Copies of this chain bind each other. A is one copy, B any other.
Amino acid sequence: MFRNFKLVPNVIFGRGCFEQLDEIIKKQRKNDDSWVVFVTDDVFQDKPLEKRLPLHDNDMLLWVNVDDEPKTQYVDELTLEVKAARSTLPCDVIGIGGGSSMDLAKSISLMLTNEGSSTLYQGWDLIKNPAVCHMAVPTLSGTGAEVSRTAVLTGPEKKLGLNSDYTVFDQVVLDPELILDVPKDQHFYTGMDCYIHCIESLEGTYLNEFSKSYGEKALDL
């Protein structure tokens, strides 16, 4: 039995491509009352990035605090907050920040369409329904959250991810400009390394040849 890999189906990469986020989201705004949740690391509050978020009138800016690793209780609270905000589900959930912010965005998008607490879905392929469309804008490299099929959560009983093909982002926006301010030892090109970790951790087939080639290239850069 070989593993059928679910990959991120849409990737945009380039210095300044964050400017295209509004246009990318537009395809999801199918009705007049369509709305988008921007799950954003609260370190960006009152920072230039806040003003650059392509918020429309009906959208929701959801600041998240990731001083601690994401907890199931926090996910459940945030999901309730999103559900309570409008009479419809959002058409898109955007995660903006590092690994924890992206994992929170993934978790919220999943919990909007899967009933009960997120603790019920910690494990392998327990998620029953596809998530709301969700996209990632990483501002920190090397986390791998933008390409992985899990969203790591700490629960009352266990620290375990919502691990599912549905967890994978529908779109990733990779803009090197957004990570200019991170410490020097966190190079953007370790982002390529994520692909290795992601794929190698899943299976030891020839697919590793793909991932190894990324690794070799990452070392070159």
Chain A residues proximal to chain B, CB less than 8 Å:
1-14, 16-17, 20, 24, 171, 192, 205-207, 209-210, 212-214, 216-217, 221
CB nearest to A189 among chain B residues: B209
A46 to chain B, nearest CB (A): 28
Specify which of A7, A8, A171, A217 lies most central, judged by the most chain B CB atoms within 10 Å of its CB: A217
Copies in the complex: 2
A5–B12 touching, CB < 8 Å: yes
CB nearest to A13 among chain B residues: B207
Q: How far is B212's CA from A139's CA once the two chains are assembled, in angstroms?
A: 25
Specify which of A14, A16, A171 lies most central, judged by the most chain B CB atoms within 10 Å of its CB: A14
B217–A210 touching, CB < 8 Å: yes
Supposing A214-B213, A216-B216, A217-B209 touch, asked if A12 and B2 sit within 8 A by C-beta, the answer is yes
Q: How far is B14's CA from A10's CA once the two chains are assembled, in angstroms?
A: 24
A7–B4 touching, CB < 8 Å: no
B206–A217 touching, CB < 8 Å: no
Q: For A4, what are the chain B residues with a Cβ–Cβ distance below 8 Å?
A: 10-12, 20, 24, 171
A9–B11 touching, CB < 8 Å: no
Q: For A20, what are the chain B residues with a Cβ–Cβ distance below 8 Å?
A: 1-2, 4
CB nearest to A171 among chain B residues: B4
Q: How far is B193's CA from A209's CA once the two chains are assembled, in angstroms?
A: 13
A215 to chain B, nearest CB (A): 9
Supposing A20-B1, A216-B216 touch, asked if A9 and B9 sit within 8 A by C-beta, the answer is yes
A206–B14 touching, CB < 8 Å: yes
